[in-house]
């Protein structure tokens, strides 16, 4: 059954500038192209006012498919994403069991290994079960910071597999099907060798330190001895 309405809930405090938001919007665009009505809510923004939260919850109630997109925090969901899950679960506790929209998750992290996201995917699967959703699958990727600013237009190169995974997932979700294994595999492939990723990440850290660190010693080890 095709979802009449798809809701994207983005869970990064960086909002529109985040990799999670960019990836979620790319997935949602693929679903919208296939005829679904789509809505986007910032989870962090919704907690700013009760009116925004009410609008988010009403859209979740009316959705056939709900997609969470968020960054990994160590090995878990961001705190406000957890709080929203708790609120949705409590709200859905009073609904009829027949009301079972589908739920999918998109998780990215700054670690190079995609497997780091597995606990968060498992948590979202369990949340879906307890809150009365039908689990539609999860997409996970490492090296998420490399995505920022590179998804506009028709990205290629290191993002070709990311885009392929999103397109495969969008096609399946728009038809009422779960995310296929080939989408999960493509989306989760490494973007570059780990050594290159670490080199670029360290360079960016040093640049940031020069701009904002005000003389902080990046190599200090105050508790080493």
pLDDT digits (tens, 9 = 90+) for 106-131: 999 999 999 999 999 999 999 999 99
Average pLDDT over the chain reads 89
* pLDDT score at 215: 66
* pLDDT score at 218: 74
**Cα gap 102→225, rounded to integer Å:** 53
The whole-model pTM stands at 0.88
Residues contacting 25, CB < 8 A, separation 6+: 8, 40
**Cα gap 27→173, rounded to integer Å:** 10
- In the β-sheet with 102-108, what is the strand arrangement from edge to edge? 37-42, 5-10, 65-71, 102-108, 134-141
Q: Above 90 in pLDDT, residue 140?
A: yes
17 within 8 A of 70, measured Cβ to Cβ: no
| Mean pLDDT of all residues in 47-75 | 95
* pLDDT score at 74: 85
Residues contacting 169, CB < 8 A, separation 6+: 27, 30, 104, 137, 139, 179, 180, 183, 187
Domains in the chain: boundaries: 5-192
Q: How many CB atoms lie within 10 A of CB 82?
A: 15
Q: Above 80 in pLDDT, residue 138?
A: yes
CATH number of 5-192: 3.40.50.360
* pLDDT score at 96: 53
pLDDT digits (tens, 9 = 90+) for 94-111: 665 556 899 999 999 999
3 — pLDDT class (breaks 50, 70, 90) = low
pLDDT digits (tens, 9 = 90+) for 162-202: 999 999 999 999 999 999 999 999 999 998 888 888 888 78
179 within 8 A of 136, measured Cβ to Cβ: yes
pLDDT digits (tens, 9 = 90+) for 8-32: 999 999 888 889 999 999 999 999 9
SS3 103: strand
| Mean pLDDT of all residues in 210-215 | 71
* pLDDT score at 197: 83
Q: Above 90 in pLDDT, residue 223?
A: no
Closest Cα partner for 68 from 116, 118, 112, 127? 127
């Amino acid at each position: 059954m095709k979802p009449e309405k798809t809701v994207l809930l983005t869970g990064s405090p960086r909002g529109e500038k985040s990799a999670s938001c960019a990836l979620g919007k790319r997935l949602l665009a693929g679903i919208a192209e296939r005829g679904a009505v789509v809505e986007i809510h910032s989870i962090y923004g919704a907690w700013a006012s009760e009116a925004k939260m009410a609008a988010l919850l009403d859209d979740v109630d009316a959705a056939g498919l709900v997609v969470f997109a968020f960054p990994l925090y160590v090995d878990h969901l961001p705190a406000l994403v957890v709080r929203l899950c708790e609120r949705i679960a409590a709200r859905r506790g009073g609904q009829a069991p027949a009301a079972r929209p589908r739920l999918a998750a998109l998780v990215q992290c700054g670690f190079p290994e995609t497997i780091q996201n597995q606990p968060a995917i498992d948590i979202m699967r369990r949340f879906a079960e307890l809150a009365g959703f039908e689990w539609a699958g999860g997409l996970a990727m490492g090296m998420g910071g490399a995505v920022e600013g590179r998804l506009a237009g028709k990205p290629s190169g290191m993002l070709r597999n990311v885009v392929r995974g999103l397109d495969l997932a969008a096609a399946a979700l728009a038809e009422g099907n779960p995310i296929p294994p080939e989408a999960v595999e493509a989306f989760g492939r490494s973007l570059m060798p780990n050594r290159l990723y670490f080199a670029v990440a360290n360079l960016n850290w040093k640049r940031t330190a020069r701009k904002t660190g005000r003389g902080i010693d990046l190599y200090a080890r105050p508790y080493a001895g």
